[in-house]
Chains A and B, each alone.
Chain A
């Protein structure tokens, strides 16, 4: 007997030709420029988009649900899988939220190492953004150039923690490891070359006629629209709002380093591109200062990497192996998990994509009662609903490119 084939696609909600000459086009979820699993339903009049309906959820893994069933330290590697282009930023946001919940102070050297990781991740993420967006628009050379530099950074991270993409390089209460011997020297060598590299990208793109035609005046987000849609990070700063959490609500050691926050009031794709380029320069500037800070901690003999809080954080390995009480604590913390106090926090950090916030509601148990992940890309995808109408089909690709959405983060 012939079984009915239910895998055959059906188009009950997609009509290709209607009386009013409107075409409904299905874009994605498998599309090279959809940056993951974005499905867009586009209503078209000729080539102009009249209505856009982003459809997400193809990468939904239920991280908030998983968090409710995991002890706090167990959840750390899961956060890597949100924004997998800059995974240390996610680790850091979660670690900071739990530390605020507990009320923990992190040792200075751990803070310096975290700053290094955060800024390296920002560079990695921006380079990746530049590479993929340029490739979407057709600039293959920039893709190869940017990936070359990103590769160097991934090697640096690999030297530090052994992983290249999903780092899990930050712990609640500090960092697990000190930097390897030649890390700072390698980093400096990279930073010394970076301005030339950025110059190379800009020489290829800034005055490139095709690049400017695809970027300038396309995808203009007004200030009101950006605020109303909850845009953050470069998306917000390109629309004329000078708001960088690192500057305005400094966490870690950002109050001690000097850097500028690039802002533009144009709000178009080109403004966002310029902001990403400028932020890379600022990140390099921060990294130089943090590298000096690291050398100072060596001089001052500040060797602690984890906070001392026996109720929440395991003792250093040497204590666990030699001290009975440390071993007992470690056993309880691994098998049962730490129990933060009853209360709730919402801690925002400036990830490369925007405001990455962790809302944690703790009821005093070893599992969070509710954990809400505020991922910037979620709303940067939502804004496509209002942004795309009025644009033409080729603009869709460049607009999706400059929103810098990552679907691990949108769908969580």
Chain B
């Protein structure tokens, strides 16, 4: 019987895990162990609901409700001095709970502290844009939309950014295979020549190391080149290395493999 592979997460899996292996945790500290973070968390808690908060690897992580995201980031930016949004993106938890986790990585240069504000949205939900607070979110949110298909409300220009505009599927979803889906495999062929050319052109060869010794048209026969279309017997003489026309070029010597030197000493 073939081994069962889950369809909701097609990424690489460890082929062996000890039955009794319990993964250790990166230690989490209480927010109270740091004065600056305690004050920041109090300020957020005073106005918004905080689901969870802890310190991990010297940065505070705060979980909030997704509907508060703009207001919390506004508060954090304007009152708590977190003046830069370093990064934001999403994590796909659809296989586990049907949700996306969205994180905003913020930096306070005055306090030399970094916090991460996180929230969950369900698969079909949209998130509000923070582009009005940080211009850099314009591109980050586009990237998030491009990679996960998460819709962003009030975004000025929500279009794909890295993938082509007419792409189908969202590459960073766990359901999207690494080698791409059928659309990805035939994208260029469909677009340039049409679907009817698929049979003529054939699938792409993904093995980069493949050398066809009977192929007289590509690079497989380096050093033993033959004219295009020649039938290959396997006894072709070695092509001498020569990079110039027979007559030579004015002022430039013809390259001669025999006379060439390999320089090994930099200080020569």
Task: List, in ascending order, chain B residues with CB within 8 A of A188's CB.
Answer: none
A151's nearest neighbour on chain B, judged by CB, is: B266
Given A6-B194, A336-B15, A241–B59 Cβ distance below 8 Å? no
- Residues A342 and B24 in contact, CB atoms below 8 Å apart: yes
Report Cα–Cα, A76/B120, bound state, in Å: 31
Stretch from B43-51, B134-142, B240-248, B251-259 forming part of the interface with A: B134-142
CB pair B87–A374 under 8 Å, yes or no, is yes
Q: Point out the residues of chain A lying under 8 angstroms from B16, CB to CB.
A: 336
Kindly state the separation between the CA atoms of A339 and B25 in the bound complex, as whole angstroms: 11
Which residues of chain A from 301 to 358 have a CB within 8 Å of any chain B CB? 336-337, 339-348, 355, 357
B162:A60 contact, CB within 8 angstroms: yes
For residue B116, which residues in chain A have a CB less than 8 angstroms away from its CB?
346
Of the listed stretches A125-133, A137-145, A280-288, A365-373, chain B binds: A365-373
Query: By the criterion of a CB under 8 Å from any partner CB, how many residues of chain B are at the interface?
Result: 52
The verdict on A7 contacting chain B, using a C-beta distance below 8 Å, is yes
**CA distance in complex: A65, B139 (Å):** 19
Asked whether B14 is an interface residue with its Cβ less than 8 Å from the other chain, the reply is: yes
Residue in contact with A342 in the complex, picked from B26, B61, B87, B191, CB distance below 8 Å? B26
Q: Given A100-B57, A339-B23, A341-B23, is A379 in contact with B91 using a C-beta cutoff of 8 Å?
A: no
Contact of A6 among B105, B163, B172, B192 (CB under 8 A): B192
**A155:B266 contact, CB within 8 angstroms:** yes
B24 and A56 contact, CB distance less than 8 A:
no
Determine whether the beta carbon of B86 is less than 8 Å from that of A348.
yes
**A336, B135: Cβ atoms under 8 Å?**
no
Provide the residues of chain B in CB contact with A256, threshold 8 Å.
none
Does chain A have a CB within 8 A of B154?
Answer: no
Q: Contact between A241 and B109 (Cβ–Cβ < 8 Å)?
A: yes
Shortest C-beta distance, A363 to chain B (Å), equals 8
Query: What total of A-B pairs shows CB separation below 8 Å?
Result: 134
Q: Mark B14-51, 1 if CB is under 8 A from A, else 0.
A: 11110001011111100000000000000000000000
Tell me the bound Cα distance from A155 to B267 in angstroms: 11
Assess whether A179 is interfacial by the CB under 8 Å rule.
Answer: no
Tell which of B59, B91, B161, B191 touches A57, judged by Cβ atoms closer than 8 Å: B161
Evaluate contact between A57 and B24: CB separation under 8 angstroms: no
Residues in A with CB closer than 8 Å to B21 are 339
The 8 A CB mask of B149-172 against A (1 = contact, 0 = none) is 000000000001111100000011
Q: Are B26 and A359 closer than 8 Å at their CB atoms?
A: no
Interface residues of A in 200-233 (CB under 8 A from B): 225, 227-230
Is A276's beta carbon under 8 Å from chain B?
A: no
Q: Report the contact-size class of chain A (Cβ under 8 Å from the partner).
A: 35 or more
Q: Is A249 an interface position by the 8 A CB rule?
A: yes
Complex formed: what's the CA distance from A3 to B91 in Å?
Answer: 45
The residue that A66 contacts in the complex, of B24, B89, B178, with Cβ under 8 A, is B178
Contact between A365 and B134 (Cβ–Cβ < 8 Å)? no
Contact (A344, B26) CB under 8 Å given A57-B164, A65-B171, A241-B109: yes
Q: Is the CB of B134 within 8 A of A228?
A: yes
CB-CB nearest in chain A for B57:
A345
B112:A248 contact, CB within 8 angstroms: yes
Would you call A273 an interface residue if the criterion is a C-beta within 8 Å of the partner chain's C-beta atoms?
A: no
A382 close to B (CB within 8 Å) = yes
Q: How far is the CB of B119 from chain A (nearest CB, A)?
A: 15
* Bound Cα distance from A86 to B13, whole angstroms: 32
Query: Does A243 sit at the interface, judged by CB under 8 A?
Result: yes
CA distance A54 to B267 in the complex (A): 45
Q: Which residue of A lies closest to B85 (CB)?
A: A230
Indicate if the CB atoms of A379 and B139 lie closer than 8 Å: yes
Q: Are B109 and A342 in contact (CB under 8 A)?
A: no
- A229–B87 CB distance below 8 A: no
Name A70's closest neighbour in chain B (CB-CB). Answer: B12
Interface residues of A (CB under 8 A from B): 3, 6-7, 56-57, 60, 62, 64-66, 68-70, 100-101, 103, 155, 225, 227-230, 241, 243, 248-249, 336-337, 339-348, 355, 357, 359, 361-367, 369-370, 372, 374, 378-379, 382-383, 385-386, 411-412
Name 20 extra pairs, CB < 8 A, besides A57-B162, A243-B109: A3-B193, A57-B161, A65-B178, A101-B26, A101-B57, A225-B135, A227-B84, A228-B136, A248-B109, A336-B16, A342-B25, A346-B116, A348-B114, A363-B23, A365-B13, A367-B12, A369-B91, A382-B135, A382-B136, A412-B162
